[in-house]
Amino acid sequence: MAFPQNETAIIKAFGDRFRSDANPEVYRAPGRVNLIGEHTDYNLGYVFPIALEMACYVAISPSGDGTLHAYSEDFQAGFDIPVDTLLNCRPRKDWSDYVVGVAQELLKQDVRIEGANMLICSQVPIGSGLSSSAALEVSTAVALLGSQSLQPLEIAKLAQRAESQFAGMPCGIMDQYAAVFGKEGAAIQIDCRSLTHEYVPLPDAASIIAVNSLVKHELGSSAYRERVTECRAAVQDIQKIDSSVESLRDVTPEFFVQVQESISPLPRQRARHIVYETHRVVEFAAAAQAHNLQEMGKLFLASHRSMQYDYEISCEEIDFLVDTAIDLPGVYGARMTGGGFGGCTVNLVAPASVAEFANRLSSAYERRYGMRPIFYDCKPAAGAGRVNERA
């Protein structure tokens, strides 16, 4: 279905689906594009995402029958689960795991969940590296919470647990954190160890353009697990030299140079990406504050090459988009964003060059791969919350 563009449309879709005149509450949680700091979150380093205007919307009202009736417009599928059996549910390996996983986590925090009708509808493209799953988790959390309050950080953490423990994807905290704490006009520099953040305004002189390659290689989730394990192996090797090292966050570039020979070859290569990538986040934030677009662009490309050669999470189509983009006029830098193996690139482009950038990149990609990529002009947007006024 075409996404209802505004809350009136989603309220109408809700009324049609549940044959209800109830005036539902509508909540949203955004997708995100990570500007730099890839795979550093589960290594307790820094990340630097922006929340997007593209969001997942949930319309909700009490069902009065003790059952959670949820329907996803995107998957054209739904479920009905009595609230008192929610905690017994097992994962079904589909979109419903994000909803049920969040509901279980809320119950474990003693949040009251009443029977409800929920209509879910997302603008965040699935499998694109823009965090459609975190948008679904966090919008579900704020919708089920309603007027009950929970600290924002707790919402991000429970949404992450839903994904890692119930849906079974051992992700870091970045996506859920960005969906909760997003802010208009600013990137969020998150310290994934202390779970604190700073907002960093971005220079107007560059547009942030995400380019969807429309490919998502199956390898994605198994390779993600492998990377988590390889980073852990690197930490274990380093601990033989310095037992105070708890994660790759504790390894500075200087220290890495000293200890690298003691790390087995593949974990060493992975650790090199993480150590320098975390460092690049700090450098990128400083360059953004100094409005130094050349430097921001350079760091983008260094990050991409590191993902391509050291972390080995890129793929042919993404490399083609990056390599083509960086030769186009007005492009400061390009890199893959998100978990890897497809999805989107993110590009820093002079606003006056965006149209030419899109035309030329689109034609080149189509000539090579027979499909036209999709372009998103990304403006940093607000985090999760209620969309319509309380009646």
Question: Across the beta sheet with 374-378, what order do the strands follow?
Answer: 331-337, 342-349, 207-216, 374-378
Interface region with ligand GLA, contact rule CB under 6 A, candidates 33-41, 75-83, 106-114, 366-374: 33-41
Note whether 137 binds ligand GLA by CB under 6 A.
no
**Whether residue 94 lies in the annotated active site:** no
Binding-site member from 38, 74, 105, 317 for ligand GLA (CB under 6 A): 38
d(CA 381, CA 377): 12
Q: Is 25 a binder of ligand GLA (CB under 6 A)?
A: no
d(CA 7, CA 12): 8
| Alpha-carbon span 267 to 230, nearest angstrom | 5
Of 53, 51, 123, 134, give the one whose Cα is nearest residue 95.
Answer: 134
Contact (CB, 8 A) for 336 and 345: yes
Number of residues that bind ligand GLA (CB under 6 A): 12
Among residues 175, 242, 319, 327, which one is catalytic? 175
Q: How far is the CB of 308 from ligand GLA (least distance, A)?
A: 15
Fill in the DSSP letter of residue 162. I
Question: What is the C-alpha to C-alpha distance for residues 276 and 282, in angstroms, rounded to an integer?
Answer: 10
52 contacts ligand GLA (rule: CB under 6 A) = no
Closest to ligand GLA by CB, 338 or 380 = 338
How far apart, in whole angstroms, are the C-alpha atoms of residue 158 and residue 176? 9
Nearer to ligand GLA, 42 or 332 (CB): 42
Q: Is 127 in the site for ligand GLA (CB under 6 A)?
A: no
Give the x/- contact pattern for ligand GLA in 183-222, rule: CB under 6 A.
Answer: ----------------------------------------
One of 338, 342, 373, 380 touching ligand GLA (CB under 6 A):
338
Position 172 contacts ligand GLA (CB under 6 A): yes
132 vs 347, beta carbon nearer ligand GLA: 132
Candidates 171-179, 200-208, 211-219, 321-329: pick the segment binding ligand GLA (CB under 6 A). 171-179
d(CA 268, CA 310): 9
User: Which strand (E) or helix (H) includes residue 133?
Assistant: helix 132-145
Q: Calculate the CA dihedral of residues 137, 142, 143, 147 and round it to 10 degrees.
A: 160
Q: Pick from 28, 31, 41, 248: which binds ligand GLA (CB under 6 A)?
A: 41
Answer yes or no whether residue 116 interacts with ligand GLA by CB under 6 A.
no
Cα 139 from Cα 29, distance rounded (Å): 5
Measured from the CB atom, is 41 or 250 closer to ligand GLA? 41
The CA distance from 343 to 374, in Å, is 11
Which residue, chain included where needed, has tokens 């949040």?
Answer: 111
**Residue among 29, 99, 138, 174 that touches ligand GLA (CB under 6 A):** 174
CA within 13 Å, CB half, 130: 29
**In terms of Cα–Cα distance, which of 93, 97, 136, 140 is closest to 116?**
140
Rounded to a whole number of angstroms, the minimum distance from the CB of residue 136 to ligand GLA is 12
Can residue 339 be called a binding residue for ligand GLA (CB under 6 A)?
Answer: yes
Residue 230 makes contact with ligand GLA by CB under 6 A: no
- Bridge-based pairing of strands 25-34 and 67-72 is unpaired
Least distance CB 43 / ligand GLA (angstroms): 9
Q: Does 284 bind ligand GLA (CB under 6 A)?
A: no
As annotated, the active-site residues are: 175
Site residues, ligand GLA (CB under 6 A):
34, 38-39, 41-42, 131, 171-172, 174-175, 338-339
